[in-house]
Amino acid sequence: MDVISVIRTKRDRGELSPEQIDWVIDAYTRGVVADEQMSALAMAILLNGMNRTEIARWTAAMIASGERMNFDSLTRPTADKHSTGGVGDKITLPLAPLVAACGAAVPQLSGRGLGHTGGTLDKLESIPGWRALLSNEEMLHVLDTTGAVICAAGDGLAPADKKLYALRDVTGTVEAIPLIASSIMSKKIAEGTGSLVLDVKVGSGAFMKNIEDARELARTMVGLGTDSGVKTVALLTDMSTPLGLTAGNALEVRESVEVLAGGGPADVVELTIALAKEMLDAAGIKDADPAKALADGSAMDHWRRMIAAQGGDPDAALPVAREQHVVTASASGVLTRLDAYAVGVGAWRLGAGRARKEDPVQAGAGIELHAKPGDTVTAGQPLMTLHTDTPEKFEYALASLDGSYDVAPAGTAFSATPIVLDRIA
């Protein structure tokens, strides 16, 4: 078998055979298929799609490229969550310790930034000393002693996905539904969690721009999880506006700690609690109250233990960018739109994301918001503050923010979009 014939099959809108899929995933993992060849195949999949049979086989082949974990030794039921990526989406950070405080074990395998969306591992690495890379034994120990762990997938867990994930980020193939579904579900199934809640983002700042594409992705992933014996449910959530008031690594960690301390933006709190309830229900825990666990400090206690167990200092000062630039409102009135994609690209251009898979990210870079849609603003007041260590990036970031918001005359009625749009089970 050769990779050119596999690429041509999908380029010509054919169905990949099980043998072709098994071979190309294995060959790419071993380095027989080059990055540029897999890039061509990924682009063909983006353009021409895959059917349910192909996606299931592609997912199985990625699982088979490595090992599978097992959490049977734990005394708690396991529940995990995955987001398809958004702007300001720091929900994993307060969610994992919150669900642990309510009695479940949360084995949260997370990723790095992908395109204009932030990566959970990049965010947490802004905490001095914190380690994303844990052995399976270390991961199990942290999970057993603190109730939650957030870490990178080990080299042995779906290694095919690890290579393909990084490649998609820099080849314009992030949005391919078959590749998103198989990437997420191969790691989650191989991880061994008993239940899984998916946060499928919808809107300008998401990879799924419309709700029908989001439903297709959600149904695909729920089907893959259910067929593999993992209790799986998906929430479709709004990503037309950034979540919270920050987009950027250390900025989002700081905001997450505010949520764990009982404060933080209302939208972040609302979605964190909604996802916590779904995770606890899927794990069979019926009598816990996530809102109470936020209010009484128990979620914060679990956060501090989890961070410390992975080498981090929960009391250390977070990095702050050396340079700031303030964007002010152009008119007085009601802020009716703040485009999530524009803010995400702006944060990425400031250094919060990467253009190549080997690029570093700036811990302090990003965008801090001072108003959200529905707020009354005055001409000249700060709308957002841009943060970076490299001031030459300001012009490039500001270009992405041009036309990113609308201000309507004072008194204009405003109706906010619900955070949770739909539920797929």
| pLDDT tens, residue by residue, 29-87 | 999 999 999 999 999 999 999 999 999 999 999 999 999 998 989 999 999 999 988 99
Give the CATH number, domain containing residue 361.
3.90.1170.30
Is the domain of 113 the same as that of 238? yes
**C-alpha to C-alpha distance for 89 and 117, rounded to whole angstroms:** 8
* 150 DSSP β-pair partners: 108
Is the domain of 87 the same as that of 150? yes
**C-alpha to C-alpha distance for 137 and 85, rounded to whole angstroms:** 28
* 395 pLDDT above the threshold of 90: yes
Catalytic pick among 83, 110, 183, 400: 183
The two tokens of residue 110 are 């997370």
**Within-domain flag for 57:** no
Is the domain of 216 the same as that of 346? no
Q: What percent of the chain has pLDDT over 90?
A: 87
**C-alpha to C-alpha distance for 333 and 377, rounded to whole angstroms:** 6
Which secondary structure element, helix H or strand E, spans residue 422, and what is its range?
strand 420-424
Strand order in the sheet with 323-328: 246-247, 366-369, 382-388, 323-328
Q: Which pLDDT band, with edges at 50, 70 and 90, does 357 fall under? A: low
**Within-domain flag for 199:** yes
Residues 4-20: tens digit of each pLDDT: 999 999 999 999 999 99
Is the domain of 229 the same as that of 369? no
Q: What single DSSP character describes residue 350?
A: I
**Within-domain flag for 317:** no
Single residue among 309, 339, 373 that ends a domain in this structure:
309
Least confident of 101-110, 163-172, 177-186, 222-231: 163-172
Single residue among 309, 335, 355 that ends a domain in this structure:
309
Is the domain of 338 the same as that of 299? no
Host domain of residue 10: 3-49
* 358 pLDDT above the threshold of 80: no
Say what angle helices 177-191 and 35-48 make with each other, to 10 degrees. Answer: 110
Is the domain of 9 the same as that of 44? yes
* 341 pLDDT above the threshold of 80: yes
**C-alpha to C-alpha distance for 116 and 393, rounded to whole angstroms:** 15
Catalytic pick among 81, 82, 90, 393: 82
Say what angle helices 249-260 and 92-101 make with each other, to 10 degrees. Answer: 30
**C-alpha to C-alpha distance for 248 and 88, rounded to whole angstroms:** 7
Give the CATH number, domain containing residue 233.
3.40.1030.10
Active site residue 168: yes
**Within-domain flag for 275:** yes
Active site residue 199: no
The two tokens of residue 147 are 């109730």
**Within-domain flag for 417:** no
Mean pLDDT across the stretch 289-295?
96
The two tokens of residue 66 are 């490595």
Is the domain of 261 the same as that of 337? no
Is the domain of 143 the same as that of 219? yes
Is the domain of 234 the same as that of 359? no
User: At 363, which amino acid appears?
Assistant: A
pLDDT at residue number 155? 79
The two tokens of residue 406 are 């609308």
Is the domain of 112 the same as that of 223? yes
Is the domain of 11 the same as that of 99? no
Active site residue 357: no
Domain count, the chain: 3
**Within-domain flag for 94:** yes
User: At 238, which amino acid appears?
Assistant: D
**Within-domain flag for 143:** yes
Catalytic pick among 80, 89, 122, 161: 161
CB 199 within 8 A of CB 84: yes
**Within-domain flag for 332:** yes
If 0-12 CB within 10 Å is exposed, 13-18 middle and 19+ buried, where does residue 210 land?
Answer: exposed
The average confidence (pLDDT) of the chain is 95
Residues whose CB is less than 8 angstroms from the CB of residue 45 and which lie 6 or more positions away in sequence, other chains included: 10, 173, 176, 178, 179
Single residue among 309, 344, 361 that ends a domain in this structure:
309
Catalytic pick among 163, 168, 304, 349: 168
Catalytic pick among 57, 162, 163, 187: 187
Is the domain of 206 the same as that of 280? yes
Closest CA to 120 of 108, 110, 129: 110
